[in-house]
Structure 1
Amino acid sequence: MTKLPLLSFIVGTMITSSLSTTVSATIQTQFQLPQGVEYQKAITTPDEFLGYPMGKWHLRHDQLNFYIKNLAEQSPRVALEHSGKSHEDRQQLSLLITSESNHNNIDSILAQRAAVKHGESSKGPLVVWLAYSIHGDEASGVHAAMELSYYLSASNESWVKSLLEETVVIITPSQNPDGMDRFATWANNNRSNTFNADPNNREHHQHWARGRLNHYLADLNRDWLFLRHPESQGRVALFHKWQPHYVGDFHEMGHRSSYFFQPGVPSRTHPLTPQKNQQLTDKIANYHRAALDKVGQPYYSKQSFDDFFYGKGSTYPDINGAIGVLFEQASARGQAQDSPNGVVTLTRAIQNQFATSISSLKGTLALKDELHQYQNDFFKDKQSDSKRQQGVLISTHTDIQRRDEFASLLNQHQIRSHYLTKNVNKADVNFTPNDSLFIPLEQPQSDLITALFDKRTEFEDETFYDVSSFDLAAAFDLTVSEKVSLKAPQFTKNNPTKTSNTIGSNSVAVLLDWQQSASAKVLQQLLANDVIVKYSQKPFSVKHQNTTQNFGAGSLQIHLRQDNISREQLITMLESLSSEHQLKSTAVDTFASVTGGDLGSPDFKAIQLVKPLLITGDGSNPMEVGQIWHYLDNTLKMPVTLTKGSRLKRLKLSDYSHVLFAHGNYNSLDKTTAIALKAFVKQGGTIVAHKGALRWLKKHELLSSELFDSKQAQALFNTNALTFGDQSALRAKQTIGGAIVNVELDLTHPLNYGLSRPQLKIMKNSILALVAEKPFTVSGQYAKQPLSSGFMAQEYQSVYPQKSAVVAESLGRGQVIGFADNLLFRNIWLGSERIYANALFFAPNSL
């Protein structure tokens, strides 16, 4: 055993201020562990491992993982949890730190954790999960986690030993390995030996797209519900494995701030969150207040941040029987940055995050009995063994893949769902075993089920930190019947859907119904293998196995005699793809139809291979760029070229079929770029653009439709007699942060092929709408009652029914397709993403 000496950690350093002169300031440049503590000599300190003081350089993820693996080897208090890999194959590790006796009894503890969800009393050790830096450029968290891991592994303090006897501490140092390394590389590359605190310094301004985001430029702290990324999937699996009592979620905010911890704004807590949850949050907050008072760090709570959207790390626990707490530290975004509160340093930020990590542990330990009781009460009476159960019925309208994707999502949240064994008719909707699920409400995650289908439109407070609705029925384009009572023989755990797609020796063609969402994936694979695929521009029907089968516009035809692939190879490919994607195909023995054009008629057009060019870089919104990239790369398996907008005028655009613009401000693109794009479209190319990109297209006469945006929106609101104090409420009313709206579809339009219902729900998080010049260019218009769920001011609800959501305009031999909203919202909006697929595969041939 050894005692660390009391070092002089506060040293004078020259820093360059944002003022015009170089000033000498005394700032903390090294992290300081609790002093006067006896630490185990055999355990390597972070400084010893790194070979330099913590915080001198920003940590890389490989350094972090090497160190925590080293801790697990050196300390019997430490074991590691593996929760998969990031997109870039970085291993996601968490530390389990507890007493040796608890480690020896870990299987029993896990059994207790699982049992509490089923109504058994919460007992055994408390489980506290501290998770850091889900935004990769919020670096103080990961550094604090590394120090905390050492401290809990090596400290011989009596309170630490008591803590580890009574608690299993889970530490996830980095929740975003790829973003962490992107930021560390930037910050280290731009670090000077003399700290420069000028906020204008390059060190503090990352290149597009910043380390905040993951590989596909997603904000992982918006993915706890949607689970579109492996980092999130592993994290949620870890949560449910351990069912923690408390989750600390450590972040950073702007450098001009101080330090925030929850509770958040009381009036902006989701109504489904128990009041006791917020009371316990505030009780634990007293420990944070004391810890930060002790080190002289200003702080605040109950302002700015809310507890509404359950898709974040501090709110997901609240709907799942735990207490989630958000921490926000002012960020240096480098080593040191000037602020109105003085110089913000990385080291001071680490010290604060360490302090509130310790206060989290001390607070939860002190409230152990209350946390156990809270979890008991949360899961009490939520389980039923009755053979007749009440629940929710959902249907995806013959789309097997979308149903199974929804079932997979529910399963990852440990929500039980069942398949039907026979047809069930409710409110004139036929729910079938092939496209439906039954979700019982009497189960441990019943509150989460309610949240996932929540459709409220009225709120106590109209300000939201994120979206005001997250109704998954809208995202997946589901038909939902609530409060349905079924008997056990009517549902089963086993998926009854079996797709048999035998292609006979006499078959001449194979047909795929485009209503199946997997058809787009299969189409891309066929085109990539030089298979000729045609689609129908009109509905038709054929005779198959003595029955008549109907096919809508957009249905695919693959002729089995092709020049560049043998019949046997093509049949093998089709059968393999159909089996892999659970896709129903129809092999026909004749080109003759029963109704509509025959299969050899001009109604069928060949689909060209899509060669998309996606605009990235300054001006484009990285998260929405990432959503397009993720959709093309992971869903469709389609190669996509990513390039900066500034390079457009130097590229040979005729090498591409589509130029894709995400939301953004493209004012840096000049007239020469516009001329090049106009020539591209006139020669047969397609532009697909979202939201803010439409302003640039309109300015440069690539789009004819008029735009309704924030300038016109301001005139809708009466500001007479408003006081200075009314400004915040007015801004809240004028903001559409994320509401779900109804859009009426023209089902004859090629952009809507495969959609079976005339109304679709989409996420709207911008004011912009379109006013089409010609009615036939409109494929989607906001409904007479536009609001489905969430908050939208009445002023907008009255004006949107006269506006368009989707337009497709011809220009020469090509087209410009404009989306007023992001149809790929966070890659969870599987209903409207089909319109995006149509813009890729059908627009070049149909408009």
Structure 2
Amino acid sequence: MRKYYALLLAALITVGAQAQTKSNLAYYLPQNVTYNPAIPTPAAVLGYEVGEWHASHDQLLMYMRAVDAASDRVTITEYARTHENRPLLLLTITSPENQRNIAQIKADHHKLTDPAESGKLDVSKMPAVLWMGYSVHGNEPSGTNASLLAVYYLAAAQGPAIDEVLRNTVVLVDPSINPDGMTRFSSWVNSRRSKNLVTDPANVEQNEAWPGGRFNHYWFDLNRDWLPLQHPESRGRLKQFHEWKPNLLTDHHEMGTNSTFFFQPGVVSRKHPLTPDRNFELTQKIGAFHAKALDKIGSLYFTEENYDDFYYGKGSTYPDVNGAVGILFEQASSRGHAQEGANGVVRFPFTIRNQVTTTLSSIEAMQALRVDLLNYQRDFYQKAAKEASGQGVRAYVFGAEQDPARSYELARIIRQHQIAVYRPKSTLQLNGRTFNPADTYVVPTDQPQFRLIQAMFEERSTFKDSIFYDISAWTLPRAFGLDMASVTKLPKGGLLGQRLDSVSFPVGKVTGDKTAYAYAFSWHGYYAPRALNTLLARKLVVKVATEPFSIGERKMDYGTIMVPVGVQTVPADTVFALMQQVAAANGLEVVGITTGLSAQGLKLGSVNFVTLKKPEIMLLAGPGVSPTDVGEAWHLLDQRFGMTPSLVAPESLDRVNLDRYTVIVASDGTYNGIPVAAREKLRAWVQRGNTLLAMGKGAKWLANNGLSATKFKASGPTPTAPETASGPAAPSPTAPATPALATAPGARDRAGAVPPAAPRTGALPQRPYVGMRNTASAQEITGAIFHARLDLTHPLGYGYDSPDVYLFRDHTVFMERSASPYANPLMYTAKPLASGFISKPNELKLRSTAAADVADVGAGRIISLVDNPNFRAFWYGTNKLFLNSVFFGQIIRANAAPATEE
């Protein structure tokens, strides 16, 4: 393979040399070293200088493989393929001697994270591992293009200094974290580039079309997927992360054109409490190297502002709970090749140079702080082990007796984070729930990943600060809708049974044989909708039970799916084989029924077994719709449930034959592009008996435009001080004080203003102007978990075994209760906060409000879900609210239909 690439390289260099008119490497890279002429420059392979065009992903791969073929410092691993089948590469760059000793270096780094082994290591003799990740957001291209120069420098630079760096450091380069988004963006800007660069911010080049290149194929933000691991890019990357156990990780991003350059640390009061203070101290020390390097080239920058280190699902924060130091870089974006901004024209090469400069300063910092970072990693895990043995919770338990698939999906994620998972030794009675060994998992806290375990399971509602860059809560068992409990006292005989090195999908089965009168399966199983869709796609007659019934001694709940054999147009053998197929594929128990005369409840011929039609789904997807929200629905239906939704732009509704569809989904969005005529067309379509499912601001848009009668509370910031759930926020050492932090009468706050002792009646206290933005930000709900109650007899509640549902909310849209007693099957409780931050005024607004609303519109209905039930693809616990709307919307009414005359 290397011989092939060597021949290809020679051809590429010849073509590149002919196309290359000058070299601008001096603009980007140090010139106090020599460069090995055997290593091709980027221009020699690409045929243009870095920064002249936006490199495409295939060009990036071509260069990385060319360097690999030419250098004994470089090896390449393909660690995954994207949804669009693009390779994801990790380059390992170090000295040839270290390349020959890679297995031992990895083994030593694993020992460093094992408290039982780490004390035996002499870290002064160990190479440190630096991971450099570029452009997780595809339309933040300066990072990816900078990786071309970083790899060239590390492979080609010569001299004692670089030799020492490569002896002491293994540099891992992830040159394009999001190839699908990168391809979408580079194609846009390159195809709209003028020969004479246009810098106008209104120019089409600088304004890419919806959904933009930020996201991956399904329009997910991959920078939020390090913890939930819902995409192949993230799963492959995390495997490499834990194979290497890096000491320092850099994460190269872009921000708005009018800014400058940011490097961490962020706001100190906004780091997660589980991250040691020593991490912040090391981040500051590393920051000094970035400041020195940026000073040298005259680039403006800032630090300890705006950004935080709280959500462990981000690329620059996940390392902080794994014994490493994560560093976020944010470069003001040119959004194309050049754009006017507050600091002059921001040009693409300039953005790349800053990323290259901080790449090199990261390498310099790693060299200087190598022993400190290695010691920190060892201490992190040793201290975590002591904390685990000294704290009260000995283990976390989770499961779902009636739906082992959801438990399996969470256990699978936990295992990928290098956390040990067990079955319980015996049946457990905890929190009033029974946990059986067959469908329960136990995560003991006494293991090296103790802090990460805490981060996954904790429910936190008090914070040092009231402002969050991302979400404030993500308790995973709540996200999966599972029973959960913490064990503080070990039972007699111990707690742990079998350790699971891998977890297995639930085994499905069919009881009975091909002579059955009918087949039935519970709707409790997570993948039951996939089974139903398969049956409907095969054109079988399928019914849903709207009341309970029994099969012998087995109780069958609301929402049970029943397939009568005698009415089908296919032979009984075919029906039996299909039931075996859906049982195995979806982890379901399908019960063969021998008679239509059930012992209790519905008889199989009852009109309360309602025949279902296969839903034909349209997802509104285009300008005015949140790409992430509609992408989550698309991913759910396509990837998990094998369905075929159509993606249709809202502005084209007036040109589309709506009668092709039975369900239209309006995800969160503004929908301003829908023509008035299309709104009336949409109303008529619903009246003909169809289902319009709207979520978040999509539901509010329908109400504002007279399509639904759902009512919402007035929105807007509440003029009050930011508070935590249990009281005022503590002051941020690096941010201006907010009104919640007012000092004693007569004292001066940090802005120098003297708060008035007695404000006029009806007037708000005087507040320092400098804190205005923070005050407003504290009234946002950036992401928290809330408790709601669900009517289990309602079709939206089918498949739930408990009325207690935990919703994720990241907005301030509040739905009023309906006048109909049947229209709000899901309601927030009087004390809704379960985990995360919400200001007191917003909590008061949220209490006892509706989370779901069903409105009759002619023969059809509009279902409004105020929150996104598919959040980031890991909120498994509320996916069924969405799927029930899709499959059972056809049978839902908000008001009782008139009685039929005999």
| Fold in common (TM above 0.5) | yes
Instruction: Find the aligned partners of 2:776 and 2:246 in 1 and give their Cα distance.
Output: 38
Q: Retained in 2: the 8 A contact 1:514–1:556? A: yes
Could you tell me how far 1:819 is from its partner in structure 2? Answer: 0.9
- In the other structure, the counterpart of 1:721 is 765
**Of 45, 70, 74, the match for 2:70:** 74
Q: Which amino acid aligns with 2:396?
A: V
- In the other structure, the counterpart of 2:209 is 207
Instruction: Find the aligned partners of 1:490 and 1:368 in 2 and give their Cα distance.
Output: 39
Structure 1 residues 55 and 719, CA gap change in structure 2 (3 angstroms): farther
- In the other structure, the counterpart of 2:738 is none
Q: Retained in 1: the 8 A contact 2:510–2:589? A: yes
Q: Does 1:83 align with 2:89?
A: no
Structure 1 residues 713 and 532, CA gap change in structure 2 (3 angstroms): farther
Could you tell me how far 1:801 is from its partner in structure 2? Answer: 2.1
Instruction: Find the aligned partners of 1:614 and 1:312 in 2 and give their Cα distance.
Output: 28
Could you tell me how far 1:443 is from its partner in structure 2? Answer: 1.0
Could you tell me how far 1:729 is from its partner in structure 2? Answer: 3.5
Instruction: Find the aligned partners of 2:771 and 2:33 in 1 and give their Cα distance.
Output: 53
Structure 1 residues 83 and 537, CA gap change in structure 2 (3 angstroms): same
Q: Which amino acid aligns with 2:480?
A: F
Could you tell me how far 1:680 is from its partner in structure 2? Answer: 0.4
Deviations 1:337-372 (Å, cap 9, x if unpaired)?
Answer: 111111111101111100000000110111111111
Structure 1 residues 500 and 646, CA gap change in structure 2 (3 angstroms): closer
- In the other structure, the counterpart of 1:141 is 143
Q: Which amino acid aligns with 1:674?
A: R
**Of 38, 46, 51, the match for 1:50:** 46
Where does the alignment leave 5 or more consecutive residues of structure 2 unmatched? 1-23, 723-761, 894-902
Q: Retained in 1: the 8 A contact 2:513–2:576? A: no
Structure 1 residues 194 and 783, CA gap change in structure 2 (3 angstroms): same
Higher alpha-carbon deviation: 326-335 or 375-384: 375-384
Instruction: Find the aligned partners of 1:365 and 1:73 in 2 and give their Cα distance.
Output: 27
Could you tell me how far 1:154 is from its partner in structure 2? Answer: 0.8
Instruction: Find the aligned partners of 2:352 and 2:339 in 1 and give their Cα distance.
Output: 14
Q: Does 1:842 align with 2:888?
A: yes
Q: Does 1:509 align with 2:518?
A: yes
- In the other structure, the counterpart of 2:90 is 94
Q: Which amino acid aligns with 2:311?
A: F
- In the other structure, the counterpart of 2:335 is 333
- In the other structure, the counterpart of 1:736 is 781
- In the other structure, the counterpart of 2:309 is 307
Give the total of aligned pairs.
817
Q: Which amino acid aligns with 1:588?
A: I
Structure 1 residues 189 and 101, CA gap change in structure 2 (3 angstroms): same
Identity %: 35
**Of 501, 518, 540, the match for 2:527:** 518
Query: Equivalent residues in 2 for 1:690-709 (5 A)?
Result: 690-709=695-714
- In the other structure, the counterpart of 1:450 is 454
Q: Retained in 2: the 8 A contact 1:521–1:636? A: yes
Instruction: Find the aligned partners of 1:375 and 1:537 in 2 and give their Cα distance.
Output: 56
Could you tell me how far 1:643 is from its partner in structure 2? Answer: 0.9
Instruction: Find the aligned partners of 1:77 and 1:129 in 2 and give their Cα distance.
Output: 16
Higher alpha-carbon deviation: 585-594 or 212-221: 585-594
**Of 447, 470, 491, the match for 1:466:** 470
- In the other structure, the counterpart of 1:778 is 824
Could you tell me how far 1:382 is from its partner in structure 2? Answer: 5.3
**Of 388, 404, 409, the match for 2:413:** 409
Instruction: Find the aligned partners of 1:184 and 1:199 in 2 and give their Cα distance.
Output: 17
Q: SS at 2:764's partner residue?
A: coil
Q: SS at 1:371's partner residue?
A: helix
Could you tell me how far 1:505 is from its partner in structure 2? Answer: 4.2
- In the other structure, the counterpart of 1:13 is none
Instruction: Find the aligned partners of 2:175 and 2:135 in 1 and give their Cα distance.
Output: 7
Higher alpha-carbon deviation: 40-49 or 565-574: 565-574
Query: Equivalent residues in 2 for 1:410-559 (5 A)?
Result: 410-484=414-488, 485=490, 487=493, 490-494=496-500, 498-543=507-552, 548-559=553-564
- In the other structure, the counterpart of 1:582 is 587
Q: SS at 2:847's partner residue?
A: helix
Q: Retained in 1: the 8 A contact 2:507–2:584? A: no
Deviations 1:210-258 (Å, cap 9, x if unpaired)?
Answer: 1011100001011111111111111111111101000000000000000
Q: Retained in 2: the 8 A contact 1:29–1:55? A: no
Q: TM-score scaled to structure 1, two decimals?
A: 0.93
* Superposed CA RMSD: 2.2
**Of 101, 104, 108, the match for 2:100:** 104
Deviations 1:699-749 (Å, cap 9, x if unpaired)?
Answer: 222211211242485699997114223423321232111111111112221
Q: Retained in 1: the 8 A contact 2:396–2:457? A: no
Q: Which amino acid aligns with 2:429?
A: N
Q: Which amino acid aligns with 1:793?
A: S
Deviations 1:254-302 (Å, cap 9, x if unpaired)?
Answer: 0000000000001111111000011001011110010000000011100
Q: SS at 1:127's partner residue?
A: strand
Structure 1 residues 729 and 56, CA gap change in structure 2 (3 angstroms): closer
Instruction: Find the aligned partners of 2:26 and 2:364 in 1 and give their Cα distance.
Output: 24
- In the other structure, the counterpart of 2:367 is 365
Q: TM-score scaled to structure 2, two decimals?
A: 0.88
- In the other structure, the counterpart of 2:250 is 248
- In the other structure, the counterpart of 2:576 is 571
Instruction: Find the aligned partners of 1:42 and 1:488 in 2 and give their Cα distance.
Output: 63
- In the other structure, the counterpart of 1:787 is 833
Structure 1 residues 381 and 732, CA gap change in structure 2 (3 angstroms): closer
Could you tell me how far 1:320 is from its partner in structure 2? Answer: 0.8
Could you tell me how far 1:434 is from its partner in structure 2? Answer: 3.2
Could you tell me how far 1:800 is from its partner in structure 2? Answer: 1.8
Q: SS at 1:329's partner residue?
A: strand
Q: Which amino acid aligns with 1:721?
A: P
Structure 1 residues 789 and 597, CA gap change in structure 2 (3 angstroms): same
Q: Does 1:676 align with 2:681?
A: yes
Structure 1 residues 158 and 418, CA gap change in structure 2 (3 angstroms): same
Structure 1 residues 291 and 818, CA gap change in structure 2 (3 angstroms): same
Normalized per residue, the structure richer in strand is 1
Q: Retained in 2: the 8 A contact 1:716–1:795? A: no
Instruction: Find the aligned partners of 1:226 and 1:412 in 2 and give their Cα distance.
Output: 10
Q: SS at 1:804's partner residue?
A: coil
Instruction: Find the aligned partners of 1:90 and 1:588 in 2 and give their Cα distance.
Output: 48
Q: SS at 2:877's partner residue?
A: coil
Query: Equivalent residues in 2 for 1:123-142 (5 A)?
Result: 123=123, 124-142=126-144
Instruction: Find the aligned partners of 2:718 and 2:304 in 1 and give their Cα distance.
Output: 31
- In the other structure, the counterpart of 2:604 is 599
